[in-house]
Chains A and B, each alone.
Chain A
Amino acid sequence: MFQVQRSAPIADVVVIGSGAGGGTVTKVLTDLGIHVTLLEAGPMLHPETDFKEHKWPYDYPHRGAGEGGASYFGHGRDFGWFSAHAGGWQLEGEPYTVAEGSKFQWFRSRIVGGRTNHYGRISLRYADYDLKPYSRDGIGTDWPISYDEIAPYYDKAETFIGVTGSKEGIRSAPDGMFQTCPPPRVHEVLIKKASDKLGIPCIPNRLAVITRPTNGRPACHYCGQCGRGCISASNYSSSQVQVFPAMKTGRVTLITNAMARELITDSDGKVSAVSYVDKATRTEKQIKCRTVVLAASCCESTRLLLNSKGPGHTNGLANSSGVVGHYLTDNTGFGLGASIPALRGMPRYNSDGMGGAHLYMPWWLWDKKTEFPRGYHIEIGGGYGMPGIGSFAGLAVREEGYGDSLKKKIYEDYGSHVSFAGRGEMIPNEDTYCEIDNDVVDRWGIPVLKFHFKWTDAELKQVAHMEETFTAIIEAMGGEVRPNARPVEQKISTGGEIIHEVGAVRMGDDPKSSALNKYCQAHDVKNLFVADAAPFVSNPDKNPTLTICALAWRTAEYIAEEMRKGNV
């Protein structure tokens, strides 16, 4: 026997990133018989050992405060010890920079499944008018697709991943293919009653959680711990719901710890190979490919394009329009909570339910005149969450004291709090974008992103309205809101904080003002597609993941068809 030295094989499709977009593309393409080479910058996910679902605080000597009580000094694990993310606001050796005068924070998860392992799983369709903002009020830019074009893919995505909800017929919150949402908890019943009084719709929540067995996944067991990762895969994560099943088809080559560096182009201007850093050996490798799909997350995909420079594209690949990095947005965010006297010291019950609220409030003033152009939806919180580090930190500071009286106050306070969080649309603006910071490279030598971010009056007024609304709901429930005289600029979330970054590689019909066509295919590079939130033209008042899945599904079907025709 002797070894034949073969030239490197050419991959059919290389997908970069295994989150919502990459997972969906991988699932759809492999179902259609196409082989996918999937690159993930982090390691493999092992749910059984990685997820802290069902653990108690006392299963750890530090109870969740982290080694040495890290959380007491402000450097505990982001989102707490138990969260299933494998990343954070800062990653060792992988910096990003923020321009002077801007504030921005960027959450990254380096692991198979990316941020879908821990995300909030709120799954809201964009409304018909969300996709045509310019036509509606002359602000922003229309998407090159309509609701009718994306609706069949919302249907497919919801049916496959499983989403709870109810048919409501509200234009700002289109109905979908829903599984039954569990009943509202006690505090949620009160919130709904208060909302009813104020004329705010409060409807069953739309969460990517299955309440009946679906595609071999058992129904939710209502432990309320979705954010820790679900060992029974009863919620959506691209890792467990798409990537692992796709791997069983034998049509996936998963390469973990592979940090994409650059897309290499041939003389025709098409992508011929993906260059990546193998983190384990810190060596550079290349995979030749017929087609490449970027799904590394809005900002990582942007970074990869901007770092892929060559003859004829000196300002980055797929960027003859110059728009790559621009039109970046996050959702607005504002939160308010209070203890409700009626809930203090109530009889206990198991309020865990799904890992998230069982009700939510869609935007209700979409056909009314407001002082700000775009709306928001309201997410709610409350109930008897698992006690742990910090559960009563605020109370201890407020109430002070000690002894039996302190214990009594804690007993009565527990479970009495409700909270409201607004998530609203941000309109793209000229001062918000990302670019390559030529002064800084990460530990792999790859130039990093520099962020510029600015809220405008449209977002600030919207957040002021959130505060008024939440105060009114809390007061209707009999609660008291502590006065907060800080200016609204200090109350609105920091850019990036809501982790709904979208739009930096936007789609459009005109190659002069957009990077991608209506199938998320680069105008300049026919075998280059983007399947995360980067193609989004606007950032409506709905969490982006469901739309990432729907759009990626549509893009994947288009890729398969174009491959069949021999076009890519």
Chain B
Amino acid sequence: MSERIERRTVLAQIAAAALTGPLGIAQAQHVHQETAAAKNNGVYQPKALTRHEYSTLHGLCEMIVPGASKGGATEFIDLLSSQNPQMLAIYSGGLAWLDDYARSQYGANFSALSAQDSTAILDKIAYKKNETPEVAAGIRFFAWVRRMTVDAYYSSAVGIRELGFMGNKFVKEFAVPQDTVELAVKRSAL
């Protein structure tokens, strides 16, 4: 017998359970495991960005959210850029700005900079308070990359696990851990 239970099969069981009684939790979990089993065979090939743009973005995402590549951030941005010229313009333009700025400050493309130099650039463009005409475009671009990197990472299996999300399950009886309630009440002084 196949160990793999199709989501379709489980859904049929849910429908049957409506007539016969409650659904076995073990069975039900297969829905999640099946939908969660996103397979990632092979290496992602950039669809919109050039190789250089892609690898620059990869490094940038990793600096914004360490581990971002495990959450598929670069692929996410490249894929959406391949579907939307407006998105592609933001990224190809922004990455070109970043290289241009890196060359003007340190004489090399962003991806070739030392950790110290690339960090110095990020410390400038990661904050609105640093806005000057010279870096305004970079600050706007960085806000885009940060937003989408955060989104990609925390919508990935690894990011969701890291946050400690414990839901999206079949639960027979909903219960709230009493010690957690007590801790919160204590911390709140209510």
Contact = CB atoms under 8 A, between A and B. Distances in A.
Contact of A352 (B66, B151, B167): B167
A37 B113 CA distance: 71
A231 B14 contact: yes
B128 A400 contact: yes
A157 B99 CA distance: 65
A48 B8 contact: yes
A231 B175 CA distance: 22
Interface stretch (A22-30, A387-395, A510-518): A387-395
Contacts of A403: 63-66
B21 A213 contact: yes
A220 B18 CA distance: 11
B41 interface: no
Interface string B27-49: 01001100110100000000000
B94 to A, nearest CB: 14
Nearest to A54: B31
Interface of chain A: mostly helix, strand, loop or mixed = loop
Contacts of A221: 23, 28, 170-172
B26 interface: no
Given A59-B35, A384-B166, A222 B174 contact: yes
Given A72-B148, A352-B171, A232 B23 contact: yes
Interface in B148-181: 148, 150-152, 154-157, 159-160, 162-177, 180-181
Contact of A56 (B65, B157, B163, B172): B157
A2 interface: no
A385 B171 CA distance: 15
Contacts of B183: 346-347
Contact of B155 (A48, A57, A186, A476): A57
Interface size class of B (residues with CB under 8 A): 35 or more
A310 interface: no
Interface size class of A (residues with CB under 8 A): 35 or more
B163 A411 contact: yes
Given A65-B80, A392-B150, A186 B128 contact: no
A223 B171 contact: yes
A389 B155 contact: yes
Contacts of A65: 80, 151
A59 B157 CA distance: 10
A186 B146 CA distance: 31
Interface stretch (B51-59, B81-89, B103-111): B81-89
Nearest to A48: B11
B190 A391 contact: no
Contacts of B18: 216-218, 232-233
B150 A410 contact: yes
Interface string A218-259: 111111110000011100000000000000000000000000
Nearest to B145: A402
Interface stretch (A3-11, A190-198, A497-505): A190-198
B42 to A, nearest CB: 14
Contact of B22 (A219, A222, A476): A219
Contact of A72 (B23, B87, B157, B180): B87
Contact of B164 (A222, A224, A340, A384): A384
B171 A222 contact: yes
Contacts of B38: 56, 58-59
A182 B172 CA distance: 11
A58 B162 CA distance: 15
Given A55-B35, A351-B167, A68 B187 contact: no
Nearest to B83: A68
A386 B168 contact: yes
B66 A390 contact: no
Contacts of B66: 403-404, 407
Nearest to A358: B174
A174 interface: no
Interface in A310-332: none
B184 interface: yes
B112 interface: no
Interface string A476-499: 111000000000000000000000
A406 interface: yes
B122 interface: yes
B151 A390 contact: yes
A69 interface: yes
B79 interface: yes
A220 B23 CA distance: 11
B157 to A, nearest CB: 6
A384 B155 contact: no
A190 B185 contact: yes
Top 5 nearest A-B pairs (CB, nearest first) are A68-B84, A348-B164, A342-B188, A57-B155, A68-B83
Interface of A: 48, 54-59, 61-65, 67-70, 72-73, 182-187, 189-190, 193-194, 197, 213, 216-225, 231-233, 340-343, 346-354, 384-393, 396-397, 400-404, 406-407, 410-411, 414, 476-478
25 contacts: A54-B31, A57-B156, A57-B160, A58-B38, A59-B38, A61-B79, A63-B76, A68-B86, A69-B83, A73-B86, A182-B174, A189-B176, A190-B185, A193-B188, A216-B18, A221-B172, A341-B187, A342-B190, A350-B171, A351-B167, A384-B163, A392-B151, A392-B154, A396-B150, A478-B190
Interface of B: 8, 11, 14-15, 17-19, 21-23, 28, 31-32, 35-36, 38, 63-66, 72, 76, 79-80, 83-84, 86-87, 122, 126-128, 143, 146-148, 150-152, 154-157, 159-160, 162-177, 180-181, 183-185, 187-190
Given A54-B35, A396-B147, 6 more contacts: A58-B160, A189-B181, A231-B14, A343-B188, A350-B169, A407-B65
